[in-house]
Amino acid sequence: MPELPEMENYRRLLHERLAGQRITSVSVEREKTINLPVASFVARLQGNSFVATGRRGKHLLFHLQSGDVLLLHLMLGGFLYWGTEADKLDRTAQVTLSMGNHRLYFHGLRLGYLHLLTREEAEERLADLGPEPLDPLFTSDQFSRLLQKKRGVLKSALVDQHLLAGIGNCYADEICHRAEILPLRRIPSLSPEEAGKLFHSMQTVLREALQHGGYMEVPLFHEDHLTGGYNDRCLVYDRGNEPCPRCGHPITQDEWSSRKVFYCPSCQR
């Protein structure tokens, strides 16, 4: 599932391409992907223009000239593609927005959604999300205080969107590995020093992942050489039985609460 770095990478790249663009046509192949009858969805979008592209946690927000907001959550398997009819992917798009010759294709939204909301509805939908991990005003002390509210396992706290917005399975494991702490540690056992180490690890991992375009497998557009660049930089996630890049011990693949967990039992404590 795309996480903060993937969605922020999309936001930056799409803002450059969409700002000021007028939607000339709308195609909906799967009505369950949207929140309105198709005719109403099309009528409110066609002729509208993009003003800005935002992000909150794992959501993208397409702000429109009308004041409405398109709220996107890709969930598992969703991805975007920006291109023309000539270079489109050989896959069905659940929704397609056309801007003249260019189109924004929404793929893989069997679990995800693209909802057209008023600004107030969008704010209400996102109101219970936790703080952004990379917000310049979010401090190590605030992070420690949030952790102290939890009594369970560290990984469950890191992926809890009400606690922090944007971290999922992959980056939770990468953050814990960078901090040399087991993702299945009980939170009350963490020392203040370890909480501080987790905070700085979180900042480092997320910024590095964003710098390299996250781990998406499909480029956003033709000749996009940024998106997905973090795929080969993950140190533990999806690397079960491979040697730990820090100590050489085989990486363990485990499962906790129906989630995959990857860690090094030798150098993570």
Q: What pLDDT was estimated at residue 39?
A: 98
Q: What pLDDT was estimated at residue 141?
A: 97
Q: What pLDDT was estimated at residue 257?
A: 87
The pLDDT-based confidence of 63 (bands split at 50, 70, 90) is: very high
26 touches 103 (CB < 8 A)? no
Residue 132 pLDDT > 90: yes
Enumerate the active-site residues.
Answer: 2-3, 58, 259
Give the amino acid at 12. R
Q: What is the spatial distance between Cα 228 and Cα 100, in angstroms, rounded to a whole number?
A: 27
Q: What pLDDT was estimated at residue 207?
A: 98
Write down the mean pLDDT value for the chain: 97
Give the amino acid at 245. P
The pLDDT-based confidence of 123 (bands split at 50, 70, 90) is: very high
Residue 211 pLDDT > 90: yes
Q: What is the spatial distance between Cα 125 and Cα 123, in angstroms, rounded to a whole number?
A: 5
194 touches 205 (CB < 8 A)? no
Q: What is the spatial distance between Cα 227 and Cα 225, in angstroms, rounded to a whole number?
A: 6
pLDDT digit string (tens) for 136-148?
A: 999 999 999 999 9
Q: Which of 110, 117, 103, 115 is nearest to 27 (CA)?
A: 103
Between β-strands 102-107 and 59-64, what pairing exists: parallel, antiparallel or unpaired? unpaired
pLDDT digit string (tens) for 29-45?
A: 999 999 999 999 999 99
> DSSP assignment of 182-251, as one string?
-TT-BGGG--HHHHHHHHHHHHHHHHHHHHTTTT-SS-SSTT--STTTTGGG-SSTT-TTSBPTTT-PBP
Q: What is the pTM of this model?
A: 0.96
What's the sign of the alpha-carbon dihedral 246, 203, 169, 229? negative
94 touches 30 (CB < 8 A)? yes
Stretch 230-253: mean pLDDT: 96
Q: What pLDDT was estimated at residue 8?
A: 98
The pLDDT-based confidence of 209 (bands split at 50, 70, 90) is: very high
Cβ partners under 8 Å of residue 4, min gap 6: 55, 57, 58, 132, 133, 134, 165, 166, 167, 171, 206, 210
pLDDT digit string (tens) for 67-101?
A: 999 999 999 999 999 999 999 999 999 999 999 99
254 touches 261 (CB < 8 A)? yes
- Indicate the SS3 state at residue 9: helix
Q: Which of 56, 54, 105, 110 is nearest to 80 (CA)?
A: 105
Q: What pLDDT was estimated at residue 1?
A: 87
The pLDDT-based confidence of 258 (bands split at 50, 70, 90) is: confident
pLDDT digit string (tens) for 161-206?
A: 999 999 999 999 999 999 999 999 999 999 999 999 999 999 999 9
Helical ranges in 89-161 per DSSP H? 119-126, 140-148, 154-158
- Indicate the SS3 state at residue 107: strand
